[in-house]
Structure 1
Amino acid sequence: MKGHLYKVTLEHLEDAKGQAIDNSRLAFETRNHDDIFKIVEMIKVKMDLEEADAMAFAVGLKLFGEVMLNNRDVELFKQFKPHMTDFMKQLKKQ
């Protein structure tokens, strides 16, 4: 598969009550057709979001979008595709 290869790591630091969490971590490698770092920078410039929100939004959107593309035959993704297309058009207009 072509595309940029990323390693994504997510560490759970605190629970909803603010209690520290130890040894709760997800890590995986994934590919994406876009340079996610460039997308993050564009989102930071285009949208009035806090930096952490801009990063979370851009990374989440790109990871989700790539999964949709790679699994376009999944019925739920088929149903959501027109909405995602509209959303991406609006985002690119920002």
Structure 2
Amino acid sequence: MKGHLYQFTVEHLEDPRGQAIDSAPLEFKVRNHDDIFKIVDALKARMPLDETDATAFAIGIKLFGEVMLKNRDNPLFKEFKPQFTEFMKALKKQ
């Protein structure tokens, strides 16, 4: 698959009580057809969200969307595709 290659690292820092968590981070590489950095910048500028929420939203939606495209024959994604397409159209109008 062609596209931009990204590496993600997710660290679990603390539990709901504020206790430190000592666990190995999740690390993975993934390709995406879009430049996620440009999308993050665009959403920060257009969405009424704080910077952290806009970044998390942009990354989450791009990762989810790419998995959906890659697995388009999965019945769960196939059923959800029309709603996701409408959501993305509305998001692009923001």
Both proteins in one fold, TM over 0.5: yes
Gaps of 5+ in 2: none
Gaps of 5+ in 1: none
2: distance between equivalents of 1:80 and 1:59?
19
Could you tell me the percent identity over the aligned residues?
Answer: 68
Segments of 4+ moved more than 4 angstroms:
none
Give the TM-score taking structure 2 as reference length: 0.98
**Root mean square deviation, CA, Å:** 0.6
2: distance between equivalents of 1:46 and 1:24?
35
Secondary structure at the aligned position of 1:12 is classed as: coil
Give the TM-score taking structure 1 as reference length: 0.98
Within the alignment, does 1:6 sit opposite 2:10 as a pair?
A: no
2: distance between equivalents of 1:24 and 1:61?
25
1:24 aligned residue = 24
The total of aligned residue pairs comes to: 94
2:74 aligned residue = 74
